[in-house]
Copies of this chain bind each other. A is one copy, B any other.
């Protein structure tokens, strides 16, 4: 009799789902080699993957081959067109008062100097706010130098504030009539590796030469300004806009058993800045998400289809994310998640899920706790590439990587494979595997968009 009772009480569970293999899959993922294999492969066999260039096209070819070999279904490239900016020569020197070279890198969308260079007096602003407040007369015809230094934060939140000097500083300086602008790199290291990244000029504003100095070079210029206000720089920056070229998103799927349950959209971005080899930004992100999806695929069909997207041209304005949104906004997305904050360990998760899916978040908390991951108090935001989809109303899960050292490397020549810790990478794969196991198989409705 006892046996029969037990059997009866077990039935409701079996009616919902197959036995939960989350713990088993999570722990097996701590021995993962697939994510390393992808990160190592992309950085070695392709290297830098500048958006819209032939290098990014080679990366798409590489990716299609790799994702097919891993057993994913519906592997394809979804192309889109984009305007392409490429780096040219870049040199800088202090000509007065203490002649010496400086190391810098042009910002994406920077204008060019004449090929023979541009020499002008420098005006120093300690912060971006000071530049904004300055009268045009203080800036006109000069090279602007903004020197404030970013400090690291675990959640990367300082990027938004300090990043303004890069995001909009050149536009502000151009509108005030500056000849050019150099900013202290938006980064937290102290190496001679400048941090590039996109800047944007408003329609009608002519792009001026805009570059980031390596932090030790910005230190030096600040020390010189502490001695004298008469400082001259000569800049030679010859980037070019080479017109419209093709980029694309690489898409692969793990088909689910229940099309009505919606798609679990995951991924990272395939492109990288040209200075490094894009190891932590974002070969590791595409690698982590693919490795985790493969583990779910190899364990048997999940309830929901997992759609893995390796986005193109993220670095120059989230162009892949926008193209994906335009093409797929009508698809039945249940939830989206993205890995694009390096390769260090995940320390926190946050969700944006409908009320009825509270047990899903609880199961996530239980499955992620042994990996050292706690539940955050905020609402998941997704990330740059899945942002348009999430802002369209789709649920989101964030697995937050530790960003304390991320901005030491971000957008620098130093973003190379040796910076990836294989053990931290495995912790990421284990967390993503556990998350996908729970989310892709959840019997509950997890869709915010379609309750």
Number of copies: 2
11 A-B contacts, Cβ less than 8 Å apart?
A: A44-B224, A44-B227, A45-B97, A46-B100, A47-B220, A48-B100, A55-B99, A191-B191, A191-B193, A192-B193, A192-B414
Q: Which residue of B lies closest to A45 (CB)?
A: B98
Give the Cβ gap from A345 to chain B, nearest Cβ, in Å: 19
Give complex CA distance A414, B47 in Å.
Answer: 23
With a cutoff of 8 Å between Cβ atoms, the chain B residues found around residue A277 in the complex are 100, 216, 220
With a cutoff of 8 Å between Cβ atoms, the chain B residues found around residue A414 in the complex are 191-192, 216
Interface string of A220-231 (1 = CB under 8 A from B): 100110010000
User: 10 closest Cβ contacts across the A-B interface?
Assistant: A47-B100, A192-B413, A216-B416, A190-B418, A44-B223, A45-B98, A192-B414, A216-B418, A191-B191, A191-B414
A120: interface (CB < 8 Å): no
Q: Which residue of B lies closest to A189 (CB)?
A: B191
Give the Cβ gap from A300 to chain B, nearest Cβ, in Å: 34
A100 in complex: contacting residue of B55, B216, B219, B224, CB < 8 Å = B55
| Size range of the chain A interface in the assembly | 35 or more
With a cutoff of 8 Å between Cβ atoms, the chain B residues found around residue A259 in the complex are none
Give complex CA distance A94, B55 in Å.
Answer: 13
With a cutoff of 8 Å between Cβ atoms, the chain B residues found around residue A101 in the complex are 47-48
Contact check, A98 vs B413: say whether CB atoms are below 8 A apart: no
Give the Cβ gap from A185 to chain B, nearest Cβ, in Å: 13
- Asked if A103 meets B220 with Cβ closer than 8 Å, knowing A98-B45, A191-B193, A192-B193, the reply is no
Give the Cβ gap from A42 to chain B, nearest Cβ, in Å: 10
A364: interface (CB < 8 Å): no
